Amino acid sequence: MKIKTANLVLLMVLGILWIAPDAWAHVSANVKLLSTKETVQRLLPKGKLFVKEVDLTPGQLEKLRSFDNWDTRAAHFKFFISRDPQGRLQRVMISMVEFTRHGPVVVAIAIDPQGTIVGAILTDTQVEPLTWVEPLLKKNFMQAFQGKNSQMPLTLDPQWQQGFSRISQDFALVIANAVKKSAQLFDVVFEPGSAP
């Protein structure tokens, strides 16, 4: 009886692995490129730092879900805020996770009070996607977002299409979407131009 049960379990496990190889083939270790502390130091100017945790209101969620690219299910976000000595907002840092079939990609951006992106950094990815993202990072892809805002198009400029593999271009769009969603989130929570 024990042999039959063991064989049945073995057949079930082999069947699952045969049916769904994509479910386990793309699992790889996480690569933390920068810690939260290092990211804050790079993206936020010196000043008084605050952390603001926000549970989005139903109205804010509805606004975000009205954007074609918004597919994030989270309703709770953490913002790192830098203020000058007079208490004026300097920058806000937001981290956004994009889930792919190859694992999550985490991007942190800094935005000024007008909603303009002043910096973007890839902070986390998986081992496998890093091989496709690394060529972009070596060519300073993250600097391409400086000066843009939530209205940025989700298309790649020709310089990011030529000389990069199709999968690197796909990950470039994943990163761009994370940046755009972060800017959209800022707009909804902070209302650019105001001084929260």
Average pLDDT over residues 76-103: 93
What residue type is assigned to position 192 of the chain?
A: P
Residue 85 lies in a domain: yes
Whether this prediction's pTM lies above 0.75 is answered by yes
Q: What are the tens digits of pLDDT across the range 4-50?
A: 554 554 445 444 444 444 444 456 788 899 999 999 999 997 789 99
| Distances in whole angstroms, Cα of residue 167 to Cα of each of 116, 151, 161, 180 | 28, 25, 11, 20
Query: C-alpha angle with apex 183: 65 to 99, nearest 5 degrees?
Result: 65
Domain count for the chain, please give it: 1
Nearest-10 crossing angle of helices 58-65, 166-190: 150
Residue 42 lies in a domain: yes
pLDDT value of residue 16: 46
Residue 12 lies in a domain: no
Average pLDDT over residues 161-185: 94
pLDDT value of residue 30: 81
For residues 192 and 191, the model is more confident at 191
Q: What is the DSSP letter of 145?
A: G
Residue position matching structure tokens 């690569």 = 31
pLDDT value of residue 21: 46
CATH code, 89: 3.90.1010.10
pLDDT of 184 higher than 60? yes
Residue 20 lies in a domain: no
Domain carrying residue 43: 27-190
Residue 92 lies in a domain: yes
Q: What are the tens digits of pLDDT across the range 112-170?
A: 999 999 999 999 998 888 999 999 999 999 999 999 999 999 999 988 988 899 999 99
E strands within 14-163? 30-32, 48-55, 76-83, 89-100, 103-111, 117-126
Residue 9 lies in a domain: no
